[in-house]
Amino acid sequence: AVSTATAQVKFGLKGGLNVTSMSFNSDVFDASNRTGFFIGPTVKVQLPLVGLGIDASALYDQREAKVKVGGVTTDETLRCKAINIPVNLRYGWGLSSLANMFLFAGPQLGFNVGDKDQRITDSSTWSMQNSNFSVNVGAGITLLTHLQLTANYNIVCGKSSDTTISTGSEQLSLKEGRSRANAWQIALAYYF
């Protein structure tokens, strides 16, 4: 008897929480950690090789931060709204369909769908990039083949946005900086 190795494909829905750490040039802005969310469809492909798989999602992602300019907290909240497409290679082990654990890592491509330019103060602006590239590294557990809980860190490669602030009353001086929006993410997915 000959058996053929085939990949198993499962579709589902994924949602979760972001805890974002936005970092700016310290002489331009400062921001505190804030929470956000993400939600969207996901697919998981179990490869014929023992323990290996791939997952991919299309997630609406919203991240935000409160901003300090010169040590003073403003009333403005910066919001990043994007469609993120993570593609992760995963390696799992465990008790077959009852429960298994897995590690995963992979690239993520994001496309800005929110306001590109946001005003922080009368003389300060924040401009999002149209797209960004980041990397995910994390771990998770699957229960009863349908429910999956994951935790990961999303590391932005390059800049997420540009910031500009003007200071001084008689002479206008301009400071420019770049920011990143790294995030811890906790997700729950259900596969049909």
Q: What is the pLDDT of residues 108-135, one digit of tens each?
A: 999 999 777 666 656 666 666 788 899 9
Distance, in Å, from the CA atom of 35 to the CA atom of 19, rounded to the nearest integer, reads: 4
pLDDT digits 0-9 by tens, 34-81: 788 999 999 999 888 888 999 999 999 998 776 665 555 666 677 788
- Tell me the whole-structure pTM to 2 decimals: 0.78
Residue 35's alpha-carbon distances to 15, 18, 29, in angstroms, are 14, 5, 19
Better pLDDT: 115 or 167: 115
Confidence of residue 171 (pLDDT cuts 50, 70, 90): very low
- Print the SS3 string covering the chain: CCCCCCCEEEEEEEEEEEEEEEEECCCCCEECCEEEEEEEEEEEEECCCCCEEEEEECEEEEEEEEEEECCEEEEEEEEEEEEEEEEEEEEEEEECCCEEEEEEEEEEEEEECCCCEEEEECCEEEEECCEEEEEEEEEEEEECCCEEEEEEEEEEECCCEEEEEEECCCCCEEEEEEEEEEEEEEEEEEEC
